[in-house]
Chains A and B, each alone.
Chain A
Amino acid sequence: MAKGESPLKQFEIQPIVDINFLGFDISFTNSALWMTITTAFILIFFTVPFLKAKKTNSVSDLYPTRMQVAAELGFNFINSLLADTVGKEGKKYFPLVFTLFMFILFGNLFGMIPYSFTFTSHIIVTLALAMGVFIFVTVLGFVKHGAKFFSFFVIPGLPVYMLPLLIPIEIISYLSRPISLSVRLFANMLAGHTLLKVFAGFVSALGFFGILPLVFIIALTGLEILIAFLQAYVFAILTCLYINDALHLH
């Protein structure tokens, strides 16, 4: 990083190919480039190990390859996550949760590569994902329960005189779900990458003693990788919980 450069410069969007469609600027940017890389990587990682035609002549044909084990790990992780939070009905929503988790996870992880771009550090991206989830679970709730879905805002077993106070609170908390979901991911990515850049700036500024912030950013990079996992996990598990709420109300 050059001296005097803002630590926020890493979040700048740079158009690679200018595209204008019906007056809308849909340029292919560095953000879109890393989305492409993420999508391609996930598809290759999870599809290629299973492309080979299967035969079951002997036991050894059923031994998974290393790549298959790695892919199965991700598959079983989301499978058990859904089974634990939603139960058996959750199987239908497996592809959605899987896609969300992997897209965010590898978006975060590729963002850890120096000079790359973290598209999950943009509020517009995370908000779009969160709004997508929010609209999906709301529609799901209405499809499953119709007008009964509104009873979700009434906590059962509560005295009637508390309802005028608690129903608005419930509605506000419901409506704030996409905001909390998106800001959590966005703020974590923003703060982590900014912190890394700020301390990276100290390395050159402190001369010999720059070794101290260097050690610190090495440790911080490890923490950031953990957070990359954790935030993808939080996003996925909250999506599961919202689906569970929509299916079972209370």
Chain B
Amino acid sequence: MPQLEQVEFFISQLFWLGVFFVILFTVLTYITLPRIRAFLNQRDDFVKSHISKQDELIKKAESIIENYEAKLTEAKNQASQIINDAKDKALKESEDLIKATEEKIQHEIKQTEERVAKEKDTAISELNDQLKDSATNFLSKVTNIEKGNINL
């Protein structure tokens, strides 16, 4: 087996192994691996910063949604308020109108009644006067007494 027979090359193999291993180790330790690590860290940082930025944007969007919803509810409330006001106003107006109309009607009824009563009174008094006249005429003719002297 050459591995155990070629003893004369042991030193050479050990020497070159040492040389190349040390070269490899040194270059990797001080040049290659820090570069790779820096590269990976940079990418990680970039990704992390973007994730935090994204979180920020999500928060912003959420606050905007909240704001929008608050405004929406406010507007809805206002709208229902306006509708209620209008309803109340309309109701009141119609009630007023009804009331006014009723009053007017009452008033007119009352006036008419008054007029009717007045006319009735006038009619009765006129009738009375005419009756009195007729009676006076009748008496003066019957009794021959001057009309002016008869007092009923």
Q: Which residues of A contact B (CB under 8 A)?
A: 8-9, 11-13, 15, 19, 24-29, 31-32, 35-36, 38-39, 42-43, 46-47, 50-51, 54, 56, 59, 62, 64, 68, 71-72, 75, 94-96, 98-99, 102-103, 119, 121-125, 128-129, 132, 186, 190
Contact = CB atoms under 8 A, between A and B. Distances in A.
Interface residues of B, number: 36
Nearest to B31: A47
B149 to A, nearest CB: 137
> Per DSSP, are chain B's interface residues mostly helix, strand or loop, or mixed?
helix
Contacts of A36: 20
Contact of B25 (A35, A56, A95): A95
B39 A50 contact: yes
Contact of B2 (A11, A68, A98): A11
A129 B14 CA distance: 10
Contacts of A12: 2, 6
A32 B24 contact: no
A68 B6 CA distance: 41
> Per DSSP, are chain A's interface residues mostly helix, strand or loop, or mixed?
helix
Contacts of B151: none
B33 A75 contact: yes
A99 B24 contact: yes
Nearest to A189: B3
B32 A46 contact: yes
A26 B32 contact: no
5 contacts: A13-B13, A27-B12, A29-B13, A39-B20, A75-B40
Interface in B1-55: 1-4, 6, 8-18, 20-21, 23-25, 27-29, 31-33, 35-40, 42-43, 46
